[in-house]
Structure 1
Amino acid sequence: MRPIALAALLTLPAGLALAAPSAPSPALIAAVKAPSRTPANVARDRYRHPAETLAFFGVKPTDTVVEIWPSGGWYTEILAPYTLRRGTLYAAGPSEKGLAGVAKLRAAHPSVYAKVKTAIFPAVAGQPGVPAGTADVVLTFRNVHNWRFGATDQTQAAFDQMFAMLKPGGTLGVEEHRLPETMDTALEGKSGYMRRSSVIAFAKKAGFTFAGESQVNANPKDTHDYPGGVWTLPPNYAEKDKDRAKYAAIGESDRMTLKFVKPR
């Protein structure tokens, strides 16, 4: 189990225990090792812990899974082969252009990605969205800050739509760059980090029940206070070569890994 920062422990609500680590299934391990994955993405597994993260969220190969804003498809490379035979995977992007990464994967490995469905998220009337009440699991990785501080605040609308697309009893898994609760909330607006309490508040307002969290993606080396925000750290290196070795030694960001459930 990864080390847990004391500060992270101190921010847990009274009475809420950390979730016990879940053992990834053989099918999930096989998907993480899929030969169709990009080598550069595989090299980042040591920071992102995909098998442990997806096991914590309880994703099964028979599920209807929605991946929100997959961008280049880092997690899509695992979810597509995992759900290929018995499940369904939706890649939901902000536009067709926003799904270009998935289209590129499909072109390179059509047999792996041929069944992946696409949708627009957040969808407005007339756009192809994920049908309401059809998903077993909705997953979003490092996207909440994008909805919160883009040109228009889409955060609550995003959580509302994710709630709507899930079946009763379905799971929402959220991974996000974590801003310590003791740090100035104004940093949420420019750093790329979000307070855990902020994310939970949006989810609860949408109707979700908070089901637990894992520290599998915690990084106690992350000080959360960089000149270029979270993008100072790898893989972005916003400061380019300045202090690059220092940031490389820190690794990727400290992240919260939160699980929510749509009540039955």
Structure 2
Amino acid sequence: MLAKVLGLTVFLLLSQSSFAATADAGISISKALQHEARTAENKKRDAARKPEQTLAFFEVTPQSTVVEVWPGSGWYTEILAPLLAEKGKLYAAHYSDKFTFLSADYMQKGRAEFKAKLASHPIYKNVTVTDFAPLADIDIAPAGSVDLVLSIRNQLYLFDGETSLKHALANFYKALKPGGVLGVVAPRLPDNMLNTDWKKTGYVPEQLWLTLAKEAGFSFEASNDMLLNPKDTADHPSGIWSLPPTMAGTEEEKARHLAIGEVNQMVLKFRKPR
């Protein structure tokens, strides 16, 4: 009888411990992908963008403090907000009026639409909107407070050459904790096009990111080929904006670009030294 009681006690203690560990862990990335706040249109792009694999590669957990740089309309915010809602923290560093490369109307419209999204569902109540402009001294989050800075599908860092990317990297470095991760997903310029006039196409040389990130103090940790698209020749009339989902161009061009799929992307992980 005593053995049975002891056995039951151990079972209950283990069960409670397991439950506590599960509760403390928060929801998984796969569960966040299925959250009701995500739009059906955005879910259609999961196969091409591989958000679960991407966030796992960058070591995002439900307990992470994350800055999403230029979240745009909130494609990744729809995933990050539910993932981080209970145990983590999300800063959305949106367009700043100090970024003069884009029109004021475009930026204001983008921020307004993003804030309307945040107001549309309670899952976004803990998202903090901050500002980001590559050449402005604006804190995207409190210094040294962030586990991850995610720059996903941003192509405007080089609007005035390397200077803006250098300033952006310094800003990211400042926000990160020692040991924090900078995760970059960006259109990759093919090596055979390095001598072309690529700065207006949206494609960026991988080596430029590697070189400038090292100069900023980051260590390069790993790359991943999961978002490479060999069909993307990077020579489209409207650059990356020719391809889905933007699809700039004539109807004939759109049909051709739809067959190519989404842009060829590099996935790079950097770390701020401890």
Given the two structures, how large is their TM-score scaled by the length of structure 1?
Answer: 0.84
Task: Confirm or deny that 1:53 pairs with 2:54.
Answer: yes
- What CA distance in whole angstroms lies between the structure 2 residues aligned with 1:204 and 1:152? 14
Aligned-pair CA distance for 1:77: 0.5
Report the secondary structure of 2:188's partner residue: strand
- The alpha-carbon distance between structure 1 residues 152 and 100, as it changes in their structure 2 partners (threshold 3 A), is farther
Report the secondary structure of 1:130's partner residue: coil
- What CA distance in whole angstroms lies between the structure 1 residues aligned with 2:195 and 2:162? 19
Cα-to-partner distance string for 1:100-142 (whole Å, 9 max, x where unaligned): 3431211211x100000111113856x5641110000100112
Report the secondary structure of 2:183's partner residue: strand
Q: Residue 7 of structure 2 corresponds to which residue in structure 1?
A: none
How many residues end up aligned between the 2 structures?
237
- What CA distance in whole angstroms lies between the structure 2 residues aligned with 1:232 and 1:71? 18
- What CA distance in whole angstroms lies between the structure 2 residues aligned with 1:101 and 1:174? 24
Q: Which has the higher contact order (CA 8 A, sep 6+)?
A: 1
Task: Confirm or deny that 1:108 pairs with 2:120.
Answer: yes
Map 1:33-182; keep pairs closer than 5 Å: 33-95=34-96, 97=108, 98-109=110-121, 111-122=122-133, 124=136, 129-143=140-154, 145-149=155-159, 153-182=163-192
- What CA distance in whole angstroms lies between the structure 2 residues aligned with 1:237 and 1:187? 21
- The alpha-carbon distance between structure 1 residues 48 and 136, as it changes in their structure 2 partners (threshold 3 A), is same
- What CA distance in whole angstroms lies between the structure 1 residues aligned with 2:27 and 2:92? 24
Aligned-pair CA distance for 1:187: 3.4
Aligned-pair CA distance for 1:26: 6.8
> Structure 1: which 5+ residue stretches go unaligned?
1-24
- What CA distance in whole angstroms lies between the structure 2 residues aligned with 1:216 and 1:94? 28
Contact 1:91 1:99 in 2 (8 A): no
Cα-to-partner distance string for 1:202-261 (whole Å, 9 max, x where unaligned): 211111000001111111111111111111111111113123222111100000000000
Cα-to-partner distance string for 1:133-167 (whole Å, 9 max, x where unaligned): 00001001122x30211599521100100011000
Aligned-pair CA distance for 1:40: 1.0
Aligned-pair CA distance for 1:94: 2.4
CA RMSD after TM alignment:
2.0
Cα-to-partner distance string for 1:162-186 (whole Å, 9 max, x where unaligned): 0110000000000000101221343
Moved more, 184-193 or 203-212: 184-193
Which residue among 165, 184, 187 is the counterpart of 2:194? 184
- What CA distance in whole angstroms lies between the structure 2 residues aligned with 1:152 and 1:247? 29
Residue type of the alignment partner of 2:168:
A
Q: Which entry has the higher C-alpha Rg, 1 or 2?
A: 2
Q: Residue 193 of structure 1 corresponds to which residue in structure 2?
A: 203
Contact 2:139 2:175 in 1 (8 A): no
Given the two structures, how large is their TM-score scaled by the length of structure 2?
Answer: 0.81
Report the secondary structure of 1:197's partner residue: helix
Contact 1:122 1:161 in 2 (8 A): no
- What CA distance in whole angstroms lies between the structure 2 residues aligned with 1:231 and 1:55? 27
- The alpha-carbon distance between structure 1 residues 42 and 150, as it changes in their structure 2 partners (threshold 3 A), is farther
- What CA distance in whole angstroms lies between the structure 2 residues aligned with 1:239 and 1:46? 24
- The alpha-carbon distance between structure 1 residues 26 and 94, as it changes in their structure 2 partners (threshold 3 A), is closer
Contact 1:92 1:99 in 2 (8 A): no
